[in-house]
């Protein structure tokens, strides 16, 4: 197990994910059941991981929440004194907030200038640049470093900040639903905006629901994984869906025999349907069910609000065999 995975597991144990039943969104699909499904591809955030906090709906409250996470990060890794030296007139969490978001904007602008739409960054690279700034201003890396290398330390910091900036949750009954799909000989995959820590969190959350699971790859096919940070672009950039299309072709699966499950009408449902896939909107949390003014314009094939419903709505079999 890597240093980052060990660090993540210890945090996960210290601050267990909260189990709750969020208020679902109301939307309608075109069908009650989908047949002839050979592959199901899942989004992660808002679809499997319940990251949403109601404060995110208000810009000021969201910033306040993020500032709290930045302060915890500064305190945990000894940034506070150096950040105060860099800018003595601002709270240290605001200085760290400005560095973080400013660097992301700069990297996005650079990628857009290179012709990439919906660019994605590797978040550990952002934290590595922040470490460089801190070191130039007197931060003692050797005293505070976690892990054997600076790049490993940047990943630890990135994980810690993400851990405290989002709500920690996983939708209920996910593992039984995934296992039931696999029992029908349906292959499972992921296409999601993500970072290096996404597979780590998926494994931890899945273990919470089934302690016999060791790794998320026990449920998902390695050749059906498409994470934004590995490709430099985020959904709904068409490149991710074209890579998925190619992977389905290698498996001799038509797009019409594949189902995309997501919580976003634009980035998930519309984008997947444009390459010919069947679609399912997960509307389990109304806060993170994103419509983008596409209500009554884009309709998924099915809608579900609990993973207990999914397997009654999706089958590998045709009408003749169901």
Q: Give residue 17's pLDDT.
A: 82
Q: Give residue 108's pLDDT.
A: 95
The tens-digit pLDDT sequence of the chain (322 residues) is 699 999 999 999 999 887 778 999 999 999 999 999 999 999 999 999 999 998 999 999 999 999 999 999 999 999 999 999 999 999 999 999 999 999 999 999 999 999 999 999 999 999 999 999 999 999 999 889 999 999 999 999 999 999 999 999 999 999 999 999 999 999 999 999 999 999 999 999 999 999 999 999 999 999 999 999 999 999 999 999 999 999 999 999 999 999 999 999 999 999 999 999 999 999 999 999 999 999 999 999 999 999 999 999 999 988 655 5
CB-based contacts of 3, cutoff 8 Å, min separation 6:
146, 147, 148, 152, 156
* Secondary-structure breakdown of the chain: helix, strand, coil percentages, each rounded to the nearest 5: 50, 10, 40
Q: Give residue 19's pLDDT.
A: 72
pTM above 0.85, yes or no: yes
Q: Give residue 125's pLDDT.
A: 97
Distance CA 98, CA 120 (A): 19
CA 23 to chain centre: 20
Q: Give residue 1's pLDDT.
A: 64
Q: What is the DSSP letter of 22?
A: P
Nearest to 245 by CA among 212, 274, 211: 274
Q: Are the CB atoms for 193 and 120 separated by under 8 Å?
A: yes
The position carrying tokens 């597979």 is 199
CATH T-level assignment (fold) for domain 3-52+168-313: Rossmann fold (3.40.50)
Question: Within 13 Å of residue 136, how many CA atoms lie on the same side as its CB?
Answer: 7
Q: Give residue 322's pLDDT.
A: 52
Q: Give residue limits of the domains in the chain.
A: 3-52+168-313, 56-165
């Amino acid at each position: 197990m890597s240093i980052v995975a060990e660090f993540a597991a210890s945090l996960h144990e210290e601050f267990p994910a909260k189990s709750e039943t969020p208020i679902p969104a109301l939307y309608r699909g075109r069908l009650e059941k989908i047949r002839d499904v050979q592959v199901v591809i899942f989004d992660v955030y808002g679809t499997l991981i319940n990251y949403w906090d109601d404060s995110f709906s208000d810009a000021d409250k969201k910033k306040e929440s993020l500032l709290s996470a930045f302060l915890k990060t500064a305190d945990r890794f000894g940034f506070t004194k150096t950040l105060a030296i860099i800018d003595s007139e601002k709270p240290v969490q605001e200085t760290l907030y400005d560095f973080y978001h400013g660097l992301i904007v700069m990297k996005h602008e650079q990628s857009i200038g290179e012709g990439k739409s919906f660019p994605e960054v590797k978040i550990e690279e952002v934290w590595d640049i922040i470490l460089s700034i801190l070191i130039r201003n007197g931060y003692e890396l050797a005293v505070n470093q976690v892990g054997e290398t600076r790049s490993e330390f940047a990943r630890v910091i990135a994980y810690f900040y993400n851990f405290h900036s989002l709500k920690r949750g996983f939708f209920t009954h996910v593992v039984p639903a995934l296992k039931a799909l696999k029992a029908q000989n349906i292959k499972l995959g992921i296409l999601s905006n993500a970072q290096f820590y996404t597979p780590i969190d998926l494994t931890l959350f899945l273990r919470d629901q089934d302690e016999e699971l060791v790794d998320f790859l026990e449920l998902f096919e390695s050749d059906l994984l498409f994470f934004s940070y590995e490709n430099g672009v985020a959904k709904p950039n068409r490149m991710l869906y074209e890579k998925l299309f190619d992977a389905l072709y290698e498996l001799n699966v038509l797009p019409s025999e594949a189902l995309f499950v997501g919580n976003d009408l634009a980035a998930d449902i519309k984008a997947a349907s444009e390459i010919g896939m069947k679609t399912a909107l997960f509307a389990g949390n109304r806060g993170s069910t994103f419509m983008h003014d596409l209500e009554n314009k884009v309709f998924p094939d099915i809608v579900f609000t609990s993973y207990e419903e999914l397997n009654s709505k999706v089958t590998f079999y045709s009408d003749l065999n169901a």
